[in-house]
């Protein structure tokens, strides 16, 4: 997944009229360096290591803002917990329906399919989420 850089997210927040508080900057830093598919609790825990005063409410509000600005998007992977991914480009997963293992892949054929669909239907695709559900090699 391609994550926007801290400076890019911060610039877009500021441009939209939001203050760049130390707490919000901690959330943004976690999103850039913390890996993928992070949930609110993981963002809070990692963010408090950067800015100990970071609150749960600030994490939720900041993530809501980033989703509203179409910089991040929520993702549910075989669980009720909301996780977040970059809204840029596409996102592809294989999800095991038995153990919940999630494998992210970036396959050029999936991107070719997006291009074909856009051409065929005259549709301007901004981003996509492609998810295949089945049984992983460990659960077979």
Q: What's the whole-number average pLDDT of the chain?
A: 86
Q: Is residue 140 part of a domain?
A: no
The count of structural domains within the chain is: 2
User: Are 99 and 93 contacting, i.e. CB atoms less than 8 angstroms apart?
Assistant: no
| pLDDT value at residue 40 | 95
Which residues are CB-neighbours of 138 under 8 A, at least 6 positions away?
96, 99, 101
SS3 assignment, position 89: strand
Q: Is residue 17 part of a domain?
A: yes
pLDDT at 1 over 80: no
Residues 23 and 31: their CA atoms lie apart, in Å, by 13
- Whether 76 and 39 map to the same domain: the answer is yes
When comparing pLDDT for 88 and 49, which is higher? 49
| pLDDT value at residue 41 | 95
- Residue 135 phi/psi, 5-degree rounding, is -120, 125
Per this entry, what is the length of the chain? 140
Q: Is residue 139 part of a domain?
A: no
pLDDT at 113 over 90: no
Last residue of a domain, one of 55, 71, 86: 86
What CATH number is given to the structural domain containing 43? 1.10.10.10
User: Are 48 and 61 contacting, i.e. CB atoms less than 8 angstroms apart?
Assistant: no
When comparing pLDDT for 19 and 87, which is higher? 19
Q: Is residue 53 part of a domain?
A: yes
Find the domain containing 120 and state its range: 89-134
- Whether 82 and 99 map to the same domain: the answer is no
């Amino acid at each position: 997944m391609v994550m926007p850089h801290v400076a890019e997210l911060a610039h877009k927040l500021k441009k939209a009229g939001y203050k760049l508080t130390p707490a919000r900057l901690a959330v943004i830093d976690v999103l850039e360096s913390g890996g993928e598919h992070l949930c609110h609790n993981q963002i809070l825990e990692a963010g408090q290591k950067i800015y100990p005063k970071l609150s749960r409410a600030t994490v939720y509000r900041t993530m809501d803002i980033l989703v509203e600005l179409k910089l991040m998007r929520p993702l549910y992977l075989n669980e009720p917990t909301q996780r977040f991914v970059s809204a840029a480009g596409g996102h592809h997963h294989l999800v095991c329906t038995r153990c919940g293992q999630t494998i992210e892949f970036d396959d050029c054929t999936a991107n070719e399919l997006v291009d074909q669909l856009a051409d065929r239907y005259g549709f301007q695709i901004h981003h996509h989420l492609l998810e295949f559900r089945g049984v992983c090699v460990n659960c077979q």
